[in-house]
């Protein structure tokens, strides 16, 4: 178990810069997720930590020690890939035992350690099988067992769940988190799936085009996005040009189109520094459609439903208020509204966030 530090890391491939100068501090024992769209440099970062790629600039520290010149096989890391990467010519037990051979583990201890690892991933009885005799989910569990049996300083996971089907993915998510908490290993997890990131992480690192956009706890990046990109990438948001009219004890006063003047709590607008242009961020889930006007303390605006996108438990509406189209995602309570229905949009100011303009 060790902390991981990236100091001003840059990675270039020829003329193309895949990772722009970025720094990152991953505390010991934390579960940190690198989240971002395809091609934003998540894998590149992970591979640099692993020692599979050399950074063009900057330094990497694991447990406080600079590891730039330490080859991968001396870094003591657990690595799990999207497509499992089990050794097809070795049995499951041999796969799991592989890393132990290169460590000071007495030979008679190896079977016991292997069995413990298999039990941890809840597959105690498949040791004699070959990887191809296992399902995808089982193979990924074995890949995890193989990575953690060596008691790595850091566990690196590159989209380990994305090859699994939706139901299995959710089970594995819980399972993976349980195992990580149990052994307490520092974990860097790569995904482009925001719900995975929100559900599992202690910290989320949101990346875009090789840059770190925001680092924070799931709630923080979700509720207080640091940029328009983050607001849009984590769930659907309505972002509108607005104006900051002033800052006071009870919050930041924002003059927004459609919804009028609202006072947003200061902690939801940490980057707004004073009066001037600003942007208001309204999460689609926070915009409630209702047949009735709002009670006291809730902003209410009339609107027309334009599109209804039925999703089972929830429904996504596109509504028009004035000349602006807004997106709202509501849980279904009774029947969803029909297209063309006249509704009231309810919004609590405390659910809004503001960004500098």
Partner 1 sequence: MGWNLVRIWTILVYTFMFLPVAVVVLLSFNASQFGSFPMTGLSFRWFVELAQNEAILRAFRTSIVLGLLTAAISTTLGVLASLALVRYRVPGSNVISTLLIAPILVPEVVLAVALLLFLNFLQINKSFTLLLLGHVIFTLPFVILVVQARLVSIKRDVEEAAMSLGASPRQTFFQITLPLMLPAVLAGALFAFTISFDDITGTLFWKPGGVETVPTQIFAMLRNSISPEINALGTVMIIMTVGLPLLGLAIARQVAKKSGT
Task: Find where tokens 């870094």 sit.
Answer: 75
- Residue 182, contacted partner among partner 1, Mg ion, ligand ATP, none, CB below 5-8 A by kind: none
160 binds partner 1 (CB under 8 A): no
How many angstroms separate the CA atoms of 56 and 246, rounded?
A: 44
Smallest distance from Mg ion to CB 158, Å? 6
14 binds partner 1 (CB under 8 A): no
80 binds ligand ATP (CB under 6 A): no
Task: Find where tokens 């592989």 sit.
Answer: 98
**Residue of 32, 41, 77, 278 interacting with ligand ATP (CB under 6 A):** 41
For the record, the structure tokens of 86 come out as 């089990």
**Residue of 8, 27, 39, 274 interacting with ligand ATP (CB under 6 A):** 39
Backbone phi, psi, residue 223, to 5°: -85, -30
In DSSP notation, 205-235 reads EEEETTEEEEEE-HHHHHHS-SSHHHHHHSS
In the range 26-55, which residues lie near Mg ion by CB under 5 A? 43
In the range 33-92, which residues lie near partner 1 by CB under 8 A? 50, 52, 71-79, 81, 83, 85-89
> What is the per-residue binding string for partner 1 in 109-148, x denoting contact by CB under 8 A?
---------------------xxxx---------x--xx-
Q: Which stretches does DSSP call E strand in the chain?
A: 4-13, 16-26, 31-35, 57-62, 65-66, 77-80, 154-158, 186-191, 203-208, 211-216, 237-248, 251-256, 260-264, 276-283, 288-290, 299-310, 314-321, 324-331, 342-347, 353-356
Task: Please identify, among the stretches 11-19, 23-31, 71-79, 120-128, the one whose residues bind ligand ATP according to the rule CB under 6 A.
Answer: 11-19
Question: Is the Cβ of residue 43 or residue 95 nearer to Mg ion in the bound state?
Answer: 43
How many angstroms separate the CA atoms of 72 and 68, rounded?
A: 10
Q: Return residues touching partner 1 (CB under 8 A).
A: 50, 52, 71-79, 81, 83, 85-89, 98-99, 101-103, 130-133, 143, 146-147, 150
């Amino acid at each position: 178990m060790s902390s991981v530090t990236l100091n001003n890391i840059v990675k270039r491939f020829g003329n193309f810069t895949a990772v722009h100068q970025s720094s990152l501090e991953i505390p010991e024992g934390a579960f940190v997720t690198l989240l971002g769209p395809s091609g934003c440099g998540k894998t590149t970062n992970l591979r640099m930590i692993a020692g599979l790629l050399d950074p063009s600039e900057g330094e990497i520290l694991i447990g406080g020690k600079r590891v730039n010149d330490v080859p991968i096989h001396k870094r003591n890391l657990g690595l799990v890939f999207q497509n499992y990467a089990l050794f097809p010519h070795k049995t499951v037990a041999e796969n799991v035992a592989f890393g132990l051979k290169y460590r000071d583990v007495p030979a008679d201890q190896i079977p016991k350690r292997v069995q413990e690892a298999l039990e941890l991933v809840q597959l105690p009885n498949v040791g004699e099988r070959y990887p191809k005799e296992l399902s995808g989910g089982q193979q990924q569990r074995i890949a995890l067992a193989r990575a953690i049996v060596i008691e790595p300083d850091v566990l690196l996971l590159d989209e380990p769940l994305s090859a699994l089907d939706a139901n299995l993915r959710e089970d594995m998510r819980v399972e993976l988190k349980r195992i990580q908490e149990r052994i307490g290993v520092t974990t860097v997890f790569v995904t482009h799936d925001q719900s995975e990131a929100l559900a599992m992480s202690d910290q989320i690192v949101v990346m875009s085009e090789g840059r770190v956009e925001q680092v924070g706890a799931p709630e923080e990046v979700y509720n207080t996005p640091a940029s328009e990109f983050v607001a849009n990438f984590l769930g659907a948001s309505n972002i509108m040009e607005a104006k900051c009219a002033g800052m006071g004890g009870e919050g930041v006063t924002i003059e927004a189109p459609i919804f009028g003047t609202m006072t947003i709590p200061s902690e939801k607008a940490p980057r707004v520094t004073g009066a001037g242009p600003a942007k208001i961020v309204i999460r689609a889930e926070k915009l409630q459609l209702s047949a009735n006007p709002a009670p006291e303390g809730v902003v209410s605006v009339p609107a027309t439903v334009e599109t209804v996108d039925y999703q089972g438990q929830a429904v996504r509406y596109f509504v028009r208020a004035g000349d602006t189209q807004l997106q709202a995602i509501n849980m279904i309570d009774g029947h969803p509204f029909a297209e063309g229905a006249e509704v009231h949009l309810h919004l609590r100011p405390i659910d809004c966030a503001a960004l500098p303009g």
